[in-house]
Chains A and B, each alone.
Chain A
Amino acid sequence: MPRIVIDGLEIEVPQETKVIDAAERLGIMIPRFCYLKSLGAVGACRVCAVKFLQGPFKGVQMSCMVDVQDGMVVSTTDDEAVAFRRQVIEWLMLNHPHDCPVCDEGGQCLLQDETVSGGHGIRRYKGSKRTYRNQYLGEFIAHEMNRCIHCYRCSRFYQEYCGYRDLGVMQIADRVYFGRFQNGQLESPFSGNLVDLCPTGVYTDIPARYKVRSWDLDRSPSVCIHCSLGCNTVANARYRTVWRVEGRYNEALGSEFICDRGRFGFGYTNQPSRPRQARVDSRSVALSDALKSAAEKLSRIHAASGPRAIACVGSARNSLETQTMLKSLCDGLGLPAPCFFVNSQTEKAVKRAVASLDERVAVSLNGVAHGDFIVAVGVDPLNEAPMLALAMRQAHRRGALLVILDPRPSFLPAPHVHLGFAPGELNGVLGSLVGKALETGDEGKLPPLHEDFLKSLPLESLFKAPVNHGEELDVVLSALQKSRRPVLVCGSEIVRENTPSLCADLALLMRSAKGQCGLFYVLPGANAFGGALLSGSEESSFMEVVESMEQGCTKALVLVESDPFLQFPHKDRLKRAMEKLELLIVLDHLPSLSAEMSHVFLPTSTLFEVDSTFINQEGRVQWSRAVHEGGIPMEQWTEGNHPPRAHGAIIPGQDFKAAGKVLEEIARNMGASGEVSLSDPRFRPGKGASPLEGAPGDRPGDGMRLIPRESSREPFSAREEYFTFGEDAGDSLELLLVEALFGTEELSAHSPALEKVEPKPHMWMHEQDASMLGFSQDDVIAMDLEGGVVEVRLKVSPSMARGVLVLPRHHRLQWQKFRDISVRVPHDRMRKS
């Protein structure tokens, strides 16, 4: 590793480290505008100039463009370098409008900081300033081109890093312009990062525009909970309102970027319709009274009908603290184990995934970005876990082949091979793909168990499958054969329950053959991993709960930040079942039908109001710090007036608690003593490691991965069950209820910002299936179902699986009229409306 001396301090850094990064490690922050580690160096702004005193380079050079080499001696304070940097600042300020007082970037503006710290104050240039016309870039981002200093970060991020092609750089010389061909919503779902990237105020986020100044904001490190990846963020709040969420760098996740769902999805915490008032039998009461009432009512049923008459349902958006307390409550009172998943098929897949993940194969998002062959099975990266799509794009940019093995139309912002197979075919296709690739490889060296497994793979199913992909398959096979760092990405929503185990077995097999193979699951929800660790056996699935309610066995239901109506396939059935309950207790911060039906409603805090922990899909424990104490936002309380006219000792709308605390009090009131806590051995990150609670620091276990060195699951044991193809499609389509980028995820569906961009409800069909049924693009299709008629607009695609009906669970669509989650919709139940 080369060593360098910077300003008299010596440091050893890995090969290919830029001088600017070496300096940063020493705590020397060399100014920069164009340089961003994630985007790489381009040497455009010239403000990172330093003087090279000794070594292979001499004189003033850009520290972002030079890799550290042995013998380099660099000065950042040399007169010549300082004079040049000062000149660069003067040049950049020639045309900058100096509108800091009205600029939303003011106070967190890199240009402002560097201008002030560089000492540039007196304007010598006598010419007039350049002006531009701004563009409408959509509902998220405001455009102020006059402020631009032409660092090229935006166009490079947008096109090179993200692969979108509607924002770029136009014109030449000092008229260079960054924008779109014409006014319009930016197409990239990662566009919000432009706000963070831009070193000055060209791109500012509209939801927070003119509302707050950066120095007035409370900021705290937070975690995104709008999908299972758990990207790191910074939450910004003032006046009891969360205004803005920004990306935060995390080495394991590999970038500081977040998607627009994560950035603009926070509106649920501020919304006026958020239930903040505790209620008992439709009466508003204080939280403490509601707590007592809930405990009393529960105790009564507990005593009268026994503990089995009480069911508890949490969710994947619960924090780990909440899930733990719910489990503790159930254990303590002898109730059935809590259920965290409404969809039992998904639950089984998630549990298998969680049981399979171990240190031999698990990779982080950054590991995906460094794979040389990525195959994503039963997952739709852009819609289910948007940043995964970007990580895959980075892998592509490093030369990887991307393969998506999924029935849905695929929208990855990178060249890829899409193998559109139905869910029942995925196992067979994947098995034969890996089998074929390893067949000619070095399987002779494989351990006997692995070799047996390899021999059991159905080599022919790939080619027997109904859709023939011909040449593409040869490309895929040869790339997989050559691959040294393959990564298997596996979804959990539409796959068969054993697909995650198959993926784990195949990952272990490829690891034996190639020395290395990554495994990356995508789970349904920010804390699905925690839910899987803590939920009970498969017998306590939500469907069992519903049946038990219908039979009158379950008399009380506790819903903890969970609204099963959003996921359960048949709304009326669920409603009838819940109406039979003697007691429905709902803890939540979202408005919902469940909350409306509840006998006792207990308001809870959101992510932004309480310190909480989430386990992402790779088993990584991540800690989020509260940014404010919550309460009704000042803007709503004062009805737009400022300052508030009414004063008091109590902050309005603060009579809530974290769901975990609510449960704890209920448990205490009922005299239960739960044993499960964060010191449970289930939260032991690895063999010999301490459980979470014993971890050092004030953020227990933050960043640790809760996965064993080796999974205790018996590998290669289920090979017979993997490859049974489903029954023939016949005269019906298999229903796939899926996630969409915007409009389906529970929390962000309450965001006013996202509401403006979410697409209208729709469903997808293969164009041949559609034409066979006499349907075409944009027809409104009426489906006559068990629970009534669902009408939805049709989209057709030539590049998806045949025999499936892909229906995003749009929050504006009353789709919940199906008999079950896994159903087939007969052709004759569909007609043009």
Chain B
Amino acid sequence: MYPQVLFANRKASRIATMEEYCRSGGYEALSLVVGKWTGKDVCAEVQRANLRGRGGAGFPAAIKWLGVPEEADYPRYVVANCDEMEPGTFKDRVLVHADPHMILEGMALTGYATGAEKGFIFVRPSYESSARILEREIQKARDAGYLGKNILGTDFSFEIVVHRSGGRYICGEATALLNALQGKRPNPVKPPPYPTVKGLWGRPTVVNNIETMANVPHILRNGAEWYQGLSRSSTSPGTKLFCVSGRVNGPGCFELPMGITLREIIEEHAGGLQPGCHYKACLPGGASTRYLTSEHLDVPMDFESVAAIGHRMGTAAIIVFDQNTCLVGATLNLTQFFARESCGWCTPCREGLPYLRDLLWRIEKGEGEEEFIPMMRAMCDQLWNAYCALAPGAASPVESLLTYFEDEVREHIRQKRCPFKT
């Protein structure tokens, strides 16, 4: 068992109460910092801890916060991204159901660090239960003086509002999320200006994943050195919430040190493959990452190590596929997902993804042709020139399918049917 930080109060049957959170040191960081440290001090400590964004890109949180210009206008805003719609990812839901106040404290501290007095939690529709929990606990925190006007008797005020999404994958992209929150169509907007300069209603806005924010109280309370010590990785400190799903005995969300190997996560923490199943491949960080094969099982799961072998850790949501699962079918499913969720803004994504889906669909149902393979390869390359990261993400499973499982694709074409279907 590894040290549990975010999941310290996690229980099988219920949500941790505010009292339980406080007993475990909750809101201590807030009283330690608010009114005593400057916002810059908070940024500096988080920067020293090298907290990295948990939404998928791994961008250092403090650097993002420091992107808010010192002389920038008020009001400023903080947005907690709880929209996780990346297939395979459910850590945010688990975190809200484990210990919601950790998120609220993290948001308040982020607000304190960046001079914001209002925060939004952006929640997807299928997490209605999470939205209700958060609303209820926000009220409790407000009653206890941890949120609202003059927190803990200081002149720092911070309000949190839960914003329910109408439900679309693209809303998880920070700039699209900000559009959605303002009641505009959620098309991404290419920076500059960055949201930290011009975000919600043209004001500086910090958008972080809720897992990122949940780390903040612990860093401030225990110090950067302690935080670094939680990790096995030299570049990605702290623990990470890993989601495992697919053909494993014990799917779930686990808090484990950064840098733990993929093999250990799957075999020990997720209980290994189901009976009769052998590991074939996994997507290590949701639908928008490349397949990792059995030769990659010993890669340490941190941002740099995964990048070093030409892959992306993404949200660290591991979807495990076994030898009996058709990866053409799986990739078709993923491509269908991306094609349907494209916001329709740019041509490669709007038109290119349905094209790819059509090619995969034909291969899967036995109408594939040899020339489809180079066509798909070329198109995967072209998708990198799309407006935002959705299309390159969509290209990742397809491109890695062609890289690692070309034989399986060719077998579909040769047999004019899916070899996995009897």
Contact = CB atoms under 8 A, between A and B. Distances in A.
A pairs with B: yes
B14 interface: no
B354 interface: yes
Interface string B298-337: 0000000000000000000000000000000000000000
B63 interface: no
A46 B348 contact: yes
Contacts of A45: 346-347
Contacts of A94: 351, 354-355
A650 interface: no
Report, as a range, how many residues of chain B touch the other chain.
20 to 34
Contact of B340 (A44, A83, A173): A173
A725 interface: no
Contacts of A62: 385
B350 A46 contact: no
Report, as a range, how many residues of chain A touch the other chain.
20 to 34
Interface string A175-189: 110000000000000
A49 B358 CA distance: 25
A704 interface: no
A98 to B, nearest CB: 16
Interface stretch (B25-33, B218-226, B374-382): B374-382
Interface string B240-272: 000000000000000000000000000000000
Given A125-B358, A127-B358, A173-B342, A95 B351 contact: yes
Interface string B385-405: 111000000000000000000
A534 B392 CA distance: 67
Interface in B344-368: 344-348, 350-352, 354-355, 358, 362
A13 interface: no
Contacts of B344: 150, 171-176
A60 interface: yes
Given A44-B346, A127-B358, A174 B387 contact: no
A84 interface: yes
A553 interface: no
Contacts of B339: 173-174
Contacts of A785: none
A169 B344 CA distance: 10
A172 B346 contact: no
Interface in A129-188: 149-150, 152, 169, 171-176
A124 interface: yes
Nearest to A125: B355
A125 to B, nearest CB: 6
B343 interface: yes
Interface stretch (A85-93, A750-758, A823-831): A85-93
Contacts of B346: 43-46
A494 interface: no
Given A91-B355, A173-B342, A65 B385 contact: no
B351 A92 contact: yes
Nearest to B341: A173
A47 interface: yes
Interface in B170-197: 185, 190
Contacts of A175: 344
Given A172-B344, A173-B342, A46 B351 contact: no
Interface in A37-87: 43-47, 49, 60, 62, 65, 83-84, 87
A831 B217 CA distance: 76
A642 interface: no
Contacts of B190: 43, 65
A464 interface: no
Nearest to A170: B185
B168 interface: yes
Contacts of B341: 172-173
B353 to A, nearest CB: 8
A46 B358 contact: no
A-B CB proximity, top 9 nearest: A91-B351, A176-B344, A127-B358, A173-B342, A87-B382, A46-B347, A173-B344, A174-B354, A91-B347
